[in-house]
Amino acid sequence: MNKKIYIARSPRIAARMLGEEMLVMSGQGSTLFTLNPTATVLWQAADGATPLEEIVERRICVEFEVQPEEALRDAEALAEDLAKHGILLISEEPISGRPISHEANSKPDAPVQVTR
């Protein structure tokens, strides 16, 4: 990966841990999402200052025993999916509270369950 990607939790959401699942209510259409364990770790680590690559290396690879290259590819796709739903913000620069929009494609193996 040549450029760094930074992710931050959207300020337009409400979230709560329920057991081992993270429930997130999006401000976009008041939609409820249930995040799987990997998406939960990514969402919790999304501080806007830590590069995605570092989150993958320090959290995802350690917790899920996955190879860094594969984990980074999956985390990028996951972050894009969460950004598409308004849960995360994505930028090539550290994020400091300013809104950032990002279009993304869904993965077929979606980590997000949508409840309306």
For 80-112, the pLDDT digits (tens) are 999 998 899 999 999 985 443 333 333 333 455
Q: In this structure, are residues 106 and 28 in contact, taking their beta carbons and an 8 Å threshold?
A: no
The correct CATH number of 6-97 out of 3.90.930.60, 3.40.50.720, 3.20.20.70, 1.20.1560.10 is 3.90.930.60
pTM of the entire structure? 0.77
pLDDT at 78 over 70: yes
Confidence of residue 26 (pLDDT cuts 50, 70, 90): confident
- The percent of residues in the chain predicted with pLDDT above 70, rounded, is 81
Q: List the one residue out of 59, 95, 93, 97 whose CA is nearest residue 78.
A: 59
pLDDT digit string, tens, across residues 51-76:
999 999 999 999 998 999 999 999 99
The whole-number pLDDT of residue 3 equals: 83
Strands (E), the chain: 6-9, 13-18, 21-26, 31-35, 47-51, 88-91, 112-115
Domain ranges of the chain: 6-97
pLDDT at 41 over 60: yes
The angle, 0 to 180 degrees and rounded to 10, between the axes of the packed helices 68-84 and 37-45 is: 80
